[in-house]
Chains A and B, each alone.
Chain A
Amino acid sequence: MKSKKTDRRLTRRQFLTRSSQVALGGTLLVHHSRLWAGDSSPDRASTVVLIRDPGVLDSSGQPVYQVVLSMLDQAVTALTGEKQAVTAWKSLIKADDVVGIKTNVWRYLDTTRQVEQALRQRVLDCGVSEKEIGIRDRGVLRDPLFQRATALINARPMRTHHWSGVGSLIKNYIMFVPAPYQYHPDSCADLATIWQKPEVEGKTRLNVLVMFTPQIHNVGPHGFNPKYLFRYCGLIVGKDPVACDTVGLKIIEARRRIYFGEDRPLNPPAKHIALADTRHHLGNSDWNRIRLIRLGERRDSLV
């Protein structure tokens, strides 16, 4: 994660000027990397692994546990630069950690039990005892295990969202605050501040953005329609949630262009991802600062 000392903030005037230049010439968030194109620095890059395997979903659309496990192993190995999966996982999780796996239980598109159990298995393999592992979404704030957690793994699917543009890894921690609606102003612009709460700050060892069947458009109060799911069969894995979300967002936007046959911006825009970088310094949203490692299926990767 990026140091807080790193100051690449735009002043309000710069932001207005630059965003206005970009806004009338395209979409702000799609092309935001242009805003800092001259300020690229490889040593502050975030590594993100995109792994895809068409076999991860069976004929009924359900994830296949063994394939999920294998994808996670490959991704974590590539992410950490280790040679063995077991070593890679152990570089993230220590045997004496108390591990909370923050999942997402949205009934129409959840993290999936297979991803949850694969993560749990690998945490067990790191030597963490079963009673020191928790998997939860709602209620994490009151959960004794999450209250004493020393390590968090953040896992959720990406989907478009009525108010924040997309449901993202950044947004997945909203259950760590007592009044989530307080983060709604300005279409959830400042969701990244949740990551500064003591319950989570500095604890996240791994982010897993589930892209098996991401949703690219919302209709209706529950924001779900299977018509807008697409079979992508991927996982996006990294330590930097902003960088992972940036990659996921790029895929969603690319798919929307294909589906709608034109550049159809997310409405509202998922600006909380860019602002997590420029305003809150949680991680990198600048494409030039993201080192993307691609594993598995390359066709139609959209990124």
Chain B
Amino acid sequence: MAFFLDFTIIQPEGKYNPGFPDTRELTFFFRPATITSVGISGLWILSVWATIMGISAGTPGQDRRPDFTAQLPEKINGWQRAGEAEFYRPDNLYEYINGGAELFLSYGFQGAAAYEYRQEGGIEIKVDIFDMGDPHDAFGVFWHGCEDLDAFVDPGIQSQYSGGLLTFWKGSYYVSILAYPETPEKRTVVRELARTIAGAIVQDSPIPPIIQWLPRRHLVMNSYRYFTHHVWLNSQYFISGENILGIDRKTPAALARYRFSDDPGSAALLLLVYYPDAGRAESARRDFLEKFDLVSNEPAQTRDHRWVASRIRGRLLAMVLQAPDPASATVLLDRVRIKNYPKKERP
């Protein structure tokens, strides 16, 4: 797909202003455990709505945040918006998508708005808008489950539609519209709703720099993943159930699959982890080598006759896993190029 190699939408450092609200203070004041009266509950609901819609007073830079409730149509092609939207925050998202909430929390989830459209007979379309707080996290959570990229919403918006489920990301938002079971009519409504939501988001959609550092040659289409939680280290291949590389919210990581020929056996994985400092990068590599009984930085063979190799470049740890031979591992490491080097820990 064209999006994949098109990194031109990335903005130069400093020009991007996502304008997130600072929700930390609100979290303190409106934590559910502190709510003791109906009045305060109402205030909390109002504040959640305000936070998600970005209209909390006194926080600069929020004028760009969309008001989805105002922009989404009350009625569309015979489908009626049902009831009031429901809003969720990190501390109660599990009430809406128990279990699934952890995925979003691991990507820095800030708030969500859930809408329903209904027709007679109770058939529904669910619209969920997740404010991830950062375009990189919206990118990450979208790509977490992406298998087949398409242009269902519009060219230039990364989306995935199949079987009545549309997911896409734009700016800091990850959007899901579920219309199951799928019908041609519902498909049209899904597209129109998606375009309305996308149109309301005026933020840019920068791709994480670490994704750009992945070499393009031999990269398997749609195979890359971006994450800041160690659990997702196993996205392509089981590496470890433990956080052996010290991946956290301050260490953006990318994992991608490469294939050097048509032979599936020629595949390899490239992992990049960008640490806050070079010391942590070196320490992480040392821990990895020790835990897997690898004695040096040279390519090493594993029990299944594949190859592992790693390299430190400043704060970046690059690691090749499952390579078919030592030469392939070295070639992949050589191709890693650090571009648009971010000055801050998290762009």
Contact = CB atoms under 8 A, between A and B. Distances in A.
A226 B163 contact: yes
Contacts, number: 124
B154 to A, nearest CB: 19
Given A25-B304, A29-B238, A221 B160 contact: no
Contacts of A26: 238, 304
B163 A267 contact: no
A220 B145 contact: yes
B94 A181 contact: yes
A156 interface: no
A52 interface: no
B321 A218 contact: no
Interface string B223-241: 0000000011011111111
Question: Which range holds the interface residue count of chain A?
Answer: 35 or more
Contacts of B263: none
B163 to A, nearest CB: 4
Main secondary structure of the interface of A (DSSP, over half): loop
A278 to B, nearest CB: 12
B178 A222 contact: yes
B321 A24 contact: yes
A24 B165 contact: no
Interface in A10-32: 16, 19-29
A78 to B, nearest CB: 33
Contact of B100 (A16, A162, A225): A162
A21 B293 CA distance: 9
A269 to B, nearest CB: 6
Interface string A99-121: 00000000010000000000000
Contacts of A19: 240-241
Interface of A: 16, 19-29, 108, 161-164, 167, 180-181, 184, 186-187, 189, 217-227, 261-265, 267-269, 271
16 contacts: A20-B291, A20-B293, A23-B240, A24-B303, A24-B308, A161-B99, A217-B147, A218-B145, A219-B147, A219-B167, A220-B167, A221-B104, A221-B176, A222-B126, A226-B180, A268-B234
